[in-house]
Protein backbone atom coordinates (compact mmCIF):
# COMPACT_ATOMS: atom_id res chain seq x y z
CA UNK A 1 0.00 0.00 0.00
CA UNK A 2 1.18 3.49 -0.79
CA UNK A 3 1.53 6.26 1.73
CA UNK A 4 -0.40 8.65 -0.53
CA UNK A 5 -3.49 8.18 -2.76
CA UNK A 6 -1.54 8.41 -6.01
CA UNK A 7 -3.34 5.70 -8.00
CA UNK A 8 -6.19 7.20 -9.99
CA UNK A 9 -9.12 5.34 -11.50
CA UNK A 10 -11.22 7.11 -14.12
CA UNK A 11 -14.65 5.84 -15.15
CA UNK A 12 -16.61 7.88 -17.67
CA UNK A 13 -20.24 8.38 -16.67
CA UNK A 14 -22.76 6.30 -18.69
CA UNK A 15 -20.29 6.64 -21.53
CA UNK A 16 -22.17 5.38 -24.61
CA UNK A 17 -25.45 7.01 -23.59
CA UNK A 18 -23.75 10.26 -22.55
CA UNK A 19 -21.96 10.44 -25.91
CA UNK A 20 -25.31 10.01 -27.67
CA UNK A 21 -26.90 12.74 -25.56
CA UNK A 22 -24.01 15.10 -26.32
CA UNK A 23 -24.27 14.26 -30.01
CA UNK A 24 -28.03 14.69 -30.25
CA UNK A 25 -29.43 17.94 -28.71
CA UNK A 26 -32.99 16.56 -28.66
CA UNK A 27 -31.90 13.80 -26.24
CA UNK A 28 -30.15 15.91 -23.64
CA UNK A 29 -31.65 15.32 -20.21
CA UNK A 30 -33.85 12.52 -21.57
CA UNK A 31 -33.70 8.74 -20.95
CA UNK A 32 -31.42 7.07 -23.51
CA UNK A 33 -30.69 3.35 -23.84
CA UNK A 34 -27.90 2.02 -26.09
CA UNK A 35 -27.70 -1.61 -27.16
CA UNK A 36 -28.98 -4.25 -29.55
CA UNK A 37 -32.50 -3.44 -30.72
CA UNK A 38 -33.50 -6.89 -31.95
CA UNK A 39 -35.75 -9.24 -29.96
CA UNK A 40 -32.69 -10.66 -28.20
CA UNK A 41 -30.74 -7.44 -27.82
CA UNK A 42 -29.32 -6.41 -24.46
CA UNK A 43 -28.62 -3.02 -22.91
CA UNK A 44 -25.01 -1.84 -23.28
CA UNK A 45 -25.46 1.45 -21.41
CA UNK A 46 -28.37 3.38 -19.97
CA UNK A 47 -28.31 7.10 -19.21
CA UNK A 48 -28.90 8.15 -15.62
CA UNK A 49 -32.36 9.35 -16.65
CA UNK A 50 -33.16 5.83 -17.88
CA UNK A 51 -31.68 4.23 -14.75
CA UNK A 52 -34.34 5.94 -12.65
CA UNK A 53 -36.84 3.58 -14.32
CA UNK A 54 -34.74 0.55 -13.34
CA UNK A 55 -32.94 0.08 -16.67
CA UNK A 56 -29.35 -1.13 -16.36
CA UNK A 57 -26.59 -2.66 -18.48
CA UNK A 58 -26.86 -6.35 -19.49
CA UNK A 59 -30.66 -6.20 -19.10
CA UNK A 60 -32.68 -7.70 -21.98
CA UNK A 61 -33.79 -4.87 -24.24
CA UNK A 62 -37.38 -6.11 -24.17
CA UNK A 63 -37.45 -5.69 -20.40
CA UNK A 64 -35.91 -2.22 -20.68
CA UNK A 65 -38.66 -1.18 -23.11
CA UNK A 66 -41.30 -2.29 -20.63
CA UNK A 67 -39.69 -0.30 -17.83
CA UNK A 68 -39.01 2.84 -19.88
CA UNK A 69 -41.27 2.81 -22.96
CA UNK A 70 -40.64 6.47 -23.75
CA UNK A 71 -36.84 6.31 -23.72
CA UNK A 72 -34.78 6.70 -26.89
CA UNK A 73 -33.41 3.30 -27.96
CA UNK A 74 -30.28 3.48 -30.12
CA UNK A 75 -27.72 1.08 -31.59
CA UNK A 76 -24.10 1.75 -30.57
CA UNK A 77 -21.72 3.84 -32.69
CA UNK A 78 -18.39 2.37 -31.71
CA UNK A 79 -16.33 4.50 -34.07
CA UNK A 80 -17.52 7.61 -32.25
CA UNK A 81 -16.91 6.05 -28.84
CA UNK A 82 -13.39 4.98 -29.84
CA UNK A 83 -12.59 8.49 -31.10
CA UNK A 84 -13.74 10.05 -27.81
CA UNK A 85 -11.89 7.36 -25.85
CA UNK A 86 -8.67 8.24 -27.68
CA UNK A 87 -9.10 11.87 -26.60
CA UNK A 88 -9.58 10.81 -22.99
CA UNK A 89 -6.61 8.42 -23.04
CA UNK A 90 -4.42 11.18 -24.46
CA UNK A 91 -5.32 13.37 -21.47
CA UNK A 92 -4.45 10.52 -19.11
CA UNK A 93 -1.13 10.08 -20.89
CA UNK A 94 -0.23 13.67 -20.06
CA UNK A 95 -0.47 12.80 -16.37
CA UNK A 96 1.75 9.73 -16.40
CA UNK A 97 3.49 7.23 -18.67
CA UNK A 98 1.77 4.47 -16.68
CA UNK A 99 -1.82 4.37 -17.95
CA UNK A 100 -3.66 1.03 -17.88
CA UNK A 101 -6.80 1.13 -20.04
CA UNK A 102 -9.47 -1.36 -18.96
CA UNK A 103 -12.00 -0.48 -21.66
CA UNK A 104 -12.99 2.45 -23.85
CA UNK A 105 -14.22 4.42 -20.83
CA UNK A 106 -12.14 3.22 -17.90
CA UNK A 107 -8.46 3.29 -16.91
CA UNK A 108 -5.97 3.34 -14.05
CA UNK A 109 -3.21 5.98 -13.85
CA UNK A 110 -0.09 5.93 -11.66
CA UNK A 111 0.22 9.63 -10.76
CA UNK A 112 3.42 9.07 -8.82
CA UNK A 113 5.22 7.61 -11.85
CA UNK A 114 4.44 10.70 -13.90
CA UNK A 115 5.36 13.16 -11.16
CA UNK A 116 1.79 14.48 -11.21
CA UNK A 117 1.24 13.82 -7.49
CA UNK A 118 3.09 12.68 -4.38
CA UNK A 119 0.54 13.60 -1.69
CA UNK A 120 -3.18 13.61 -1.03
CA UNK A 121 -3.48 17.30 -1.86
CA UNK A 122 -1.55 17.11 -5.14
CA UNK A 123 -3.43 13.96 -6.17
CA UNK A 124 -6.76 15.68 -5.64
CA UNK A 125 -5.61 18.68 -7.69
CA UNK A 126 -4.54 16.36 -10.51
CA UNK A 127 -7.87 14.53 -10.39
CA UNK A 128 -9.96 17.69 -10.50
CA UNK A 129 -7.86 19.09 -13.34
CA UNK A 130 -8.35 15.86 -15.28
CA UNK A 131 -12.11 16.01 -14.89
CA UNK A 132 -12.16 19.63 -16.09
CA UNK A 133 -9.96 18.79 -19.09
CA UNK A 134 -12.16 15.85 -20.09
CA UNK A 135 -15.25 18.05 -19.97
CA UNK A 136 -13.57 20.75 -22.04
CA UNK A 137 -12.23 18.36 -24.69
CA UNK A 138 -15.15 15.92 -25.01
CA UNK A 139 -18.13 17.61 -23.40
CA UNK A 140 -18.59 14.52 -21.19
CA UNK A 141 -18.13 13.91 -17.49
CA UNK A 142 -16.03 11.30 -15.74
CA UNK A 143 -15.80 10.14 -12.14
CA UNK A 144 -12.42 9.84 -10.43
CA UNK A 145 -11.28 7.70 -7.52
CA UNK A 146 -7.93 8.22 -5.77
CA UNK A 147 -6.35 5.74 -3.36
CA UNK A 148 -3.18 3.90 -2.49
CA UNK A 149 -4.16 0.79 -4.48
CA UNK A 150 -6.01 -0.14 -7.66
CA UNK A 151 -8.77 -1.95 -5.82
CA UNK A 152 -9.56 1.02 -3.60
CA UNK A 153 -9.22 3.57 -6.40
CA UNK A 154 -11.88 1.68 -8.37
CA UNK A 155 -14.15 1.52 -5.33
CA UNK A 156 -13.64 5.26 -4.83
CA UNK A 157 -14.61 6.10 -8.42
CA UNK A 158 -17.79 4.05 -8.05
CA UNK A 159 -18.67 6.06 -4.95
CA UNK A 160 -17.91 9.27 -6.85
CA UNK A 161 -20.53 8.60 -9.54
CA UNK A 162 -21.86 10.47 -11.27
CA UNK A 163 -19.48 13.33 -12.08
CA UNK A 164 -17.52 13.40 -8.85
CA UNK A 165 -14.19 12.70 -7.16
CA UNK A 166 -13.56 10.63 -4.02
CA UNK A 167 -10.25 10.20 -2.20
CA UNK A 168 -9.61 7.24 0.09
CA UNK A 169 -6.80 8.19 2.44
CA UNK A 170 -4.27 5.43 3.15
CA UNK A 171 -4.87 4.06 6.64
CA UNK A 172 -8.66 4.33 6.40
CA UNK A 173 -9.14 1.25 4.19
CA UNK A 174 -10.48 -1.21 6.76
CA UNK A 175 -12.85 1.32 8.27
CA UNK A 176 -14.24 2.14 4.84
CA UNK A 177 -14.47 -1.44 3.56
CA UNK A 178 -15.78 -3.10 6.72
CA UNK A 179 -19.52 -2.41 6.40
CA UNK A 180 -19.67 -2.92 2.64
CA UNK A 181 -21.11 -6.01 0.98
CA UNK A 182 -18.59 -8.69 0.00
CA UNK A 183 -19.60 -8.19 -3.66
CA UNK A 184 -17.63 -4.94 -3.72
CA UNK A 185 -14.36 -6.90 -3.77
CA UNK A 186 -12.83 -7.99 -7.11
CA UNK A 187 -13.51 -11.63 -7.91
CA UNK A 188 -16.63 -11.93 -5.76
CA UNK A 189 -19.46 -12.59 -8.18
CA UNK A 190 -22.99 -13.87 -7.52
CA UNK A 191 -21.92 -17.50 -6.96
CA UNK A 192 -19.06 -16.69 -4.58
CA UNK A 193 -21.20 -14.10 -2.82
CA UNK A 194 -23.96 -16.66 -2.23
CA UNK A 195 -21.42 -19.24 -1.01
CA UNK A 196 -20.08 -16.72 1.52
CA UNK A 197 -23.60 -15.71 2.57
CA UNK A 198 -24.45 -19.31 3.38
CA UNK A 199 -21.33 -19.37 5.54
CA UNK A 200 -22.58 -16.30 7.41
CA UNK A 201 -20.36 -13.71 5.71
CA UNK A 202 -22.09 -10.80 4.02
CA UNK A 203 -19.78 -7.85 4.74
CA UNK A 204 -16.08 -7.26 4.17
CA UNK A 205 -15.65 -7.05 7.95
CA UNK A 206 -17.06 -10.59 8.20
CA UNK A 207 -14.31 -11.81 5.87
CA UNK A 208 -11.58 -10.09 7.86
CA UNK A 209 -12.91 -11.54 11.12
CA UNK A 210 -13.23 -15.06 9.67
CA UNK A 211 -9.51 -15.17 9.01
CA UNK A 212 -7.44 -16.51 6.15
CA UNK A 213 -7.63 -20.18 7.17
CA UNK A 214 -11.43 -20.18 7.06
CA UNK A 215 -11.58 -18.44 3.68
CA UNK A 216 -9.02 -20.86 2.25
CA UNK A 217 -11.13 -23.75 3.54
CA UNK A 218 -14.22 -22.32 1.86
CA UNK A 219 -12.76 -21.04 -1.40
CA UNK A 220 -9.40 -22.72 -1.91
CA UNK A 221 -5.88 -21.53 -1.29
CA UNK A 222 -5.50 -19.00 -4.12
CA UNK A 223 -8.95 -17.40 -4.01
CA UNK A 224 -9.35 -17.57 -0.25
CA UNK A 225 -5.94 -16.08 0.46
CA UNK A 226 -6.42 -13.30 -2.08
CA UNK A 227 -9.85 -12.46 -0.72
CA UNK A 228 -8.54 -12.24 2.84
CA UNK A 229 -5.82 -9.80 1.80
CA UNK A 230 -8.33 -7.64 -0.06
CA UNK A 231 -10.67 -7.65 2.96
CA UNK A 232 -7.79 -6.08 4.90
CA UNK A 233 -7.40 -3.46 2.17
CA UNK A 234 -4.18 -4.95 0.76
CA UNK A 235 -3.67 -4.79 -2.99
CA UNK A 236 -0.14 -4.55 -4.38
CA UNK A 237 -1.01 -4.84 -8.08
CA UNK A 238 0.94 -2.25 -10.10
CA UNK A 239 -0.49 -0.08 -12.85
CA UNK A 240 0.59 -1.78 -16.08
CA UNK A 241 0.86 0.39 -19.18
CA UNK A 242 0.81 -2.40 -21.76
CA UNK A 243 -2.25 -4.64 -21.76
CA UNK A 244 -2.05 -6.71 -24.93
CA UNK A 245 -5.30 -8.20 -26.12
CA UNK A 246 -5.41 -11.95 -25.61
CA UNK A 247 -7.79 -12.66 -28.45
CA UNK A 248 -9.81 -11.23 -31.31
CA UNK A 249 -13.40 -12.36 -31.71
CA UNK A 250 -16.72 -11.54 -33.33
CA UNK A 251 -20.17 -12.90 -32.63
CA UNK A 252 -23.77 -12.41 -33.73
CA UNK A 253 -27.05 -13.07 -31.94
CA UNK A 254 -29.88 -14.02 -34.30
CA UNK A 255 -33.42 -12.72 -34.01
CA UNK A 256 -34.75 -16.19 -34.87
CA UNK A 257 -33.02 -19.47 -34.00
CA UNK A 258 -31.10 -20.99 -36.91
CA UNK A 259 -32.09 -24.58 -37.66
CA UNK A 260 -30.69 -25.07 -41.15
CA UNK A 261 -27.26 -26.66 -40.80
CA UNK A 262 -26.11 -25.16 -44.11
CA UNK A 263 -27.10 -21.67 -42.94
CA UNK A 264 -25.24 -22.22 -39.67
CA UNK A 265 -22.12 -23.23 -41.61
CA UNK A 266 -22.36 -20.14 -43.83
CA UNK A 267 -22.72 -17.88 -40.78
CA UNK A 268 -19.64 -19.45 -39.18
CA UNK A 269 -17.64 -18.85 -42.37
CA UNK A 270 -18.83 -15.24 -42.50
CA UNK A 271 -17.84 -14.69 -38.87
CA UNK A 272 -14.43 -16.25 -39.54
CA UNK A 273 -13.82 -13.75 -42.36
CA UNK A 274 -14.85 -10.82 -40.13
CA UNK A 275 -12.61 -12.09 -37.35
CA UNK A 276 -9.60 -12.32 -39.67
CA UNK A 277 -10.34 -8.81 -40.93
CA UNK A 278 -10.02 -7.48 -37.39
CA UNK A 279 -6.97 -9.63 -36.76
CA UNK A 280 -5.22 -8.13 -39.77
CA UNK A 281 -6.33 -4.61 -38.87
CA UNK A 282 -4.59 -5.08 -35.53
CA UNK A 283 -1.44 -6.36 -37.28
CA UNK A 284 -1.66 -9.68 -35.46
CA UNK A 285 -1.97 -13.39 -36.15
CA UNK A 286 -3.02 -16.25 -33.88
CA UNK A 287 -2.58 -19.97 -33.29
CA UNK A 288 -5.89 -21.04 -31.72
CA UNK A 289 -9.28 -20.84 -33.44
CA UNK A 290 -12.29 -20.78 -31.10
CA UNK A 291 -15.91 -21.47 -32.00
CA UNK A 292 -18.72 -20.38 -29.69
CA UNK A 293 -22.27 -21.70 -30.03
CA UNK A 294 -25.23 -20.70 -27.86
CA UNK A 295 -28.11 -23.08 -28.42
CA UNK A 296 -31.87 -22.67 -28.22
CA UNK A 297 -31.86 -23.58 -24.51
CA UNK A 298 -29.20 -20.92 -23.67
CA UNK A 299 -26.49 -23.54 -23.12
CA UNK A 300 -23.21 -22.19 -24.45
CA UNK A 301 -20.51 -24.45 -25.89
CA UNK A 302 -16.99 -23.57 -27.00
CA UNK A 303 -14.67 -25.63 -29.14
CA UNK A 304 -11.04 -24.80 -29.93
CA UNK A 305 -8.36 -26.02 -32.28
CA UNK A 306 -4.69 -25.06 -32.00
CA UNK A 307 -2.77 -24.81 -35.27
CA UNK A 308 0.92 -25.53 -35.75
CA UNK A 309 1.75 -21.86 -36.03
CA UNK A 310 0.12 -18.41 -36.05
CA UNK A 311 -1.95 -17.42 -39.07
CA UNK A 312 -4.06 -14.58 -40.41
CA UNK A 313 -5.25 -16.51 -43.46
CA UNK A 314 -9.06 -16.41 -43.80
CA UNK A 315 -9.23 -19.79 -45.52
CA UNK A 316 -7.33 -21.45 -42.69
CA UNK A 317 -9.56 -19.89 -40.01
CA UNK A 318 -12.73 -20.73 -41.98
CA UNK A 319 -11.68 -24.37 -42.36
CA UNK A 320 -10.75 -24.70 -38.69
CA UNK A 321 -14.04 -23.13 -37.57
CA UNK A 322 -15.97 -25.45 -39.89
CA UNK A 323 -14.19 -28.48 -38.43
CA UNK A 324 -15.07 -27.31 -34.94
CA UNK A 325 -18.71 -26.89 -35.96
CA UNK A 326 -18.86 -30.55 -36.95
CA UNK A 327 -18.29 -31.44 -33.28
CA UNK A 328 -21.28 -29.41 -32.09
CA UNK A 329 -24.87 -30.64 -31.95
CA UNK A 330 -27.08 -27.82 -33.25
CA UNK A 331 -30.30 -29.83 -33.11
CA UNK A 332 -33.04 -27.63 -31.73
CA UNK A 333 -31.62 -24.39 -33.06
CA UNK A 334 -28.82 -21.88 -32.60
CA UNK A 335 -29.33 -18.40 -31.17
CA UNK A 336 -25.71 -17.12 -31.17
CA UNK A 337 -22.50 -17.91 -33.04
CA UNK A 338 -19.01 -16.56 -32.49
CA UNK A 339 -15.56 -17.10 -33.97
CA UNK A 340 -12.36 -15.99 -32.28
CA UNK A 341 -8.60 -16.32 -32.61
CA UNK A 342 -6.33 -16.44 -29.57
CA UNK A 343 -2.67 -17.12 -28.92
CA UNK A 344 -1.87 -13.87 -30.69
CA UNK A 345 1.50 -13.09 -32.22
CA UNK A 346 3.03 -10.20 -34.17
CA UNK A 347 3.98 -12.36 -37.16
CA UNK A 348 2.36 -14.82 -39.54
CA UNK A 349 3.48 -18.35 -40.26
CA UNK A 350 4.22 -18.55 -43.98
CA UNK A 351 3.73 -22.33 -44.27
CA UNK A 352 0.02 -22.50 -45.05
CA UNK A 353 0.14 -26.30 -45.30
CA UNK A 354 1.23 -26.36 -41.66
CA UNK A 355 -1.72 -24.15 -40.76
CA UNK A 356 -4.25 -26.38 -42.41
CA UNK A 357 -3.01 -29.43 -40.51
CA UNK A 358 -4.71 -29.97 -37.20
CA UNK A 359 -2.23 -29.18 -34.46
CA UNK A 360 -4.40 -30.75 -31.78
CA UNK A 361 -7.77 -32.37 -31.38
CA UNK A 362 -10.78 -30.13 -30.85
CA UNK A 363 -11.29 -29.60 -27.18
CA UNK A 364 -14.61 -29.24 -25.40
CA UNK A 365 -14.85 -25.86 -23.72
CA UNK A 366 -16.78 -24.96 -20.60
CA UNK A 367 -20.54 -24.85 -20.75
CA UNK A 368 -20.59 -21.44 -19.12
CA UNK A 369 -19.61 -18.51 -21.31
CA UNK A 370 -16.11 -17.20 -20.58
CA UNK A 371 -15.13 -13.55 -21.09
CA UNK A 372 -13.22 -12.89 -24.29
CA UNK A 373 -11.19 -9.76 -24.89
CA UNK A 374 -12.12 -8.18 -28.21
CA UNK A 375 -9.66 -5.98 -30.08
CA UNK A 376 -12.33 -4.29 -32.17
CA UNK A 377 -15.89 -4.10 -30.95
CA UNK A 378 -18.76 -5.26 -33.14
CA UNK A 379 -20.60 -2.49 -34.99
CA UNK A 380 -23.69 -3.00 -32.90
CA UNK A 381 -24.69 -5.05 -29.89
CA UNK A 382 -27.22 -7.83 -30.22
CA UNK A 383 -26.05 -8.91 -33.65
CA UNK A 384 -27.42 -5.86 -35.47
CA UNK A 385 -24.46 -5.43 -37.77
CA UNK A 386 -24.46 -3.00 -40.66
CA UNK A 387 -25.40 -4.92 -43.83
CA UNK A 388 -22.70 -5.99 -46.25
CA UNK A 389 -22.14 -3.95 -49.40
CA UNK A 390 -24.86 -4.61 -51.93
CA UNK A 391 -27.46 -5.57 -49.32
CA UNK A 392 -30.69 -3.62 -48.91
CA UNK A 393 -30.16 -0.45 -46.92
CA UNK A 394 -31.18 -0.63 -43.28
CA UNK A 395 -31.56 2.54 -41.26
CA UNK A 396 -30.86 1.67 -37.61
CA UNK A 397 -32.00 4.00 -34.85
CA UNK A 398 -29.17 6.32 -33.85
CA UNK A 399 -27.07 5.98 -37.00
CA UNK A 400 -25.70 9.09 -38.69
CA UNK A 401 -27.09 10.14 -42.06
CA UNK A 402 -26.70 13.02 -44.46
CA UNK A 403 -29.32 14.45 -46.79
CA UNK A 404 -28.47 16.35 -49.96
CA UNK A 405 -30.73 19.25 -48.96
CA UNK A 406 -31.09 19.14 -45.17
CA UNK A 407 -27.56 18.15 -44.18
CA UNK A 408 -26.49 16.01 -41.23
CA UNK A 409 -28.92 14.14 -39.00
CA UNK A 410 -29.62 10.83 -37.31
CA UNK A 411 -32.15 8.05 -37.68
CA UNK A 412 -35.01 8.18 -35.16
CA UNK A 413 -36.69 5.09 -36.56
CA UNK A 414 -37.69 3.18 -39.66
CA UNK A 415 -40.30 0.73 -40.88
CA UNK A 416 -42.90 0.10 -43.58
CA UNK A 417 -40.55 1.45 -46.22
CA UNK A 418 -40.03 4.79 -44.47
CA UNK A 419 -37.23 6.27 -42.37
CA UNK A 420 -37.59 9.18 -39.94
CA UNK A 421 -34.62 11.48 -39.50
CA UNK A 422 -33.96 14.30 -37.04
CA UNK A 423 -31.64 16.92 -38.52
CA UNK A 424 -29.41 18.27 -35.79
CA UNK A 425 -25.71 18.35 -34.91
CA UNK A 426 -23.87 18.34 -31.56
CA UNK A 427 -23.42 22.11 -31.32
CA UNK A 428 -27.10 23.00 -31.86
CA UNK A 429 -28.76 24.78 -28.95
CA UNK A 430 -32.26 23.53 -29.75
CA UNK A 431 -33.57 20.19 -31.07
CA UNK A 432 -33.60 19.83 -34.85
CA UNK A 433 -36.52 19.28 -37.17
CA UNK A 434 -37.85 15.83 -38.03
CA UNK A 435 -38.56 14.64 -41.57
CA UNK A 436 -39.59 11.29 -43.09
CA UNK A 437 -38.32 9.76 -46.34
CA UNK A 438 -38.60 6.57 -48.34
CA UNK A 439 -35.90 4.11 -47.27
CA UNK A 440 -34.48 4.15 -50.82
CA UNK A 441 -34.51 7.96 -51.21
CA UNK A 442 -31.37 8.71 -53.29
CA UNK A 443 -30.85 12.01 -51.45
CA UNK A 444 -30.27 10.18 -48.16
CA UNK A 445 -27.01 8.41 -47.40
CA UNK A 446 -25.02 7.12 -44.45
CA UNK A 447 -23.17 9.94 -42.69
CA UNK A 448 -20.23 10.40 -40.36
CA UNK A 449 -20.33 10.99 -36.63
CA UNK A 450 -19.49 14.63 -35.93
CA UNK A 451 -17.17 15.61 -33.03
CA UNK A 452 -19.00 16.24 -29.77
CA UNK A 453 -17.04 19.45 -29.16
CA UNK A 454 -16.16 21.86 -31.96
CA UNK A 455 -12.62 21.21 -33.11
CA UNK A 456 -12.63 17.67 -31.67
CA UNK A 457 -11.83 14.46 -33.48
CA UNK A 458 -14.50 12.98 -35.69
CA UNK A 459 -15.64 9.46 -34.97
CA UNK A 460 -15.78 8.36 -38.60
CA UNK A 461 -18.72 6.50 -40.11
CA UNK A 462 -21.69 5.78 -37.86
Residues 309-336 as b/e (b if ≥16 CB within 10 A, e otherwise) read bbbbbbebbbbbbeebbeebebeeebbb
Q: Name the phi and psi angles at 170, rounded to 5.
A: -55, 135
Close Cβ partners of 402 (under 8 Å, ≥ 6 residues apart):
408, 409, 444, 445, 446, 447, 448
Which entry of 20, 49, 100, 106 is annotated as an active-site residue?
106
**363 is known as an active-site residue:** no
Q: What is the distance, to the nearest Å, from the Cα of residue 199 to the centroid of all Cα atoms in its chain? A: 34
Catalogue the active-site residues.
106
Amino acid sequence: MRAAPTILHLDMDAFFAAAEQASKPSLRGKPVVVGGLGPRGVVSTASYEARRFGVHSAMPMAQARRLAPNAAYLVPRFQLYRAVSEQVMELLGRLSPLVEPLSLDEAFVDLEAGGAADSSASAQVAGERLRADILAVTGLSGSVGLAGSKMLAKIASEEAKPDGLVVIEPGTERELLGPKNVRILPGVGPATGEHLRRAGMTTVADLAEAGEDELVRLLGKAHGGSLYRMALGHDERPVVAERDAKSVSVEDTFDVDLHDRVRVRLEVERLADRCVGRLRAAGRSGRTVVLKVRRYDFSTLTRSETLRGPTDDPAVVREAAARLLEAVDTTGGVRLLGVGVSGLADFTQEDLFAQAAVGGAAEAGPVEEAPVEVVAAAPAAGGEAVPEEGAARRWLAGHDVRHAEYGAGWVQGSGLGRVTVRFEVPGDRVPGRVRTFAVDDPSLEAGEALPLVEGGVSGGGG
